[in-house]
């Protein structure tokens, strides 16, 4: 779910940041026409996310490199799996190496973390969704990584849906008034969600006919009560303070969605290396 044109713009920025004026090490140590064959390999088990982006880093820096992708996004691989083969000008490969590794390690880390949360809600009706708490500039790639790990995407950006939160409600004077204002000019295919932190607000949001009600930082007892009150008439999303130790009990309340920023913020980069082929 990312655009090649937009990704190329990011890659240019990443390469410029890392290289500066030149790769001094490669320039002083490697002859201009010297070639090499290398492979990118998994040094631990992982779920792949962003493999085509990593491959594109090499081709963006040097279109003459021969880059072969050996795996696909969403695939689980074991330690030692070959992810990418890259052959050609040795200077080019070694100059682009770190940028390619950095983005792939980050995105695979997010996919791994997402898979842990997906497993924690398995067997319940709840579906795991992400948030807008992403790394600036990397949102679409990080959301793609969540999808690779088995999660769903929430709003892609502020223009992707209407989310009425506490401050919007305060300005408008209440949930009913806020929803009425939003409905006046809401695009017909756009969903409307309201954040509620008290059960009485859930009743008001339900009466206003919203598409999704977010249960923000509610107790398990309150979420269970909200599920019973709503009775399937609209979707319920649990959010706020959710982690691997709490998500199972939250899923058991019967909510439809559970959103957490931990998919991005708690993700640890995986270990991937680039080695010369023998």
Which residues form the catalytic set? Answer: 98, 133, 165, 195, 216
Whether the Cβ atoms of residue 258 and residue 120 lie closer than 8 Å to each other: no
- Residue 259 DSSP SS3: strand
- Residue 162 DSSP SS3: strand
Q: Tell me which residue of 67, 62, 96, 102 sits closest to 83, measured CA to CA.
A: 67
* Whole-number CA gyration radius for the chain: 23
Question: Exposed (0-12), middle (13-18) or buried (19+): which is 184, by Cβ within 10 Å?
Answer: exposed
CA distance readout (Å), 270 to 41, 77, 111, 175, 195 = 11, 12, 10, 44, 35
Question: Exposed (0-12), middle (13-18) or buried (19+): which is 142, by Cβ within 10 Å?
Answer: buried
């Amino acid at each position: 779910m990312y655009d090649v044109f937009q990704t190329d713009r990011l890659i240019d920025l990443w390469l410029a940041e890392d290289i500066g004026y030149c790769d001094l090490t490669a320039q002083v140590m490697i002859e201009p026409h010297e070639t090499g064959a290398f492979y990118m390999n998994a040094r631990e088990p992982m779920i792949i996310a962003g493999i085509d982006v990593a491959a594109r880093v090499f081709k963006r820096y040097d279109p003459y490199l021969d880059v072969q992708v050996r795996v696909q996004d969403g695939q689980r691989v074991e330690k030692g799996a070959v992810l990418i083969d890259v052959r050609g000008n040795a200077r080019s490969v070694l100059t682009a190496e770190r940028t390619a590794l950095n983005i792939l390690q980050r995105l695979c880390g997010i996919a791994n973390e997402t898979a842990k949360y997906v497993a924690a809600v398995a067997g319940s009706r709840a579906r795991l969704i992400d948030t807008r708490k992403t790394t600036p500039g990397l949102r679409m790639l990080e959301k793609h990584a969540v999808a690779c790990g088995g999660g769903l995407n929430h709003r892609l950006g502020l223009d992707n849906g209407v989310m009425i939160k506490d401050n919007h409600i305060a300005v408008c004077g209440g949930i009913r008034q806020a929803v009425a204002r939003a409905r006046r000019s809401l695009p017909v295919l756009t969903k409307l969600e309201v954040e509620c932190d008290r059960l009485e607000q859930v009743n008001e949001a339900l009466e206003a006919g919203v598409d999704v009600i977010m249960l923000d930082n509610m107790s398990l007892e309150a979420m269970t009560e909200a599920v019973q009150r709503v009775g399937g008439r609209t979707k319920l999303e649990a959010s706020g303070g959710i982690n691997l130790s709490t998500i199972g009990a939250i899923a058991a309340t019967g909510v439809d969605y559970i959103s957490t920023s931990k998919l991005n913020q708690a993700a640890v980069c995986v270990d991937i290396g680039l080695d010369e082929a023998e």
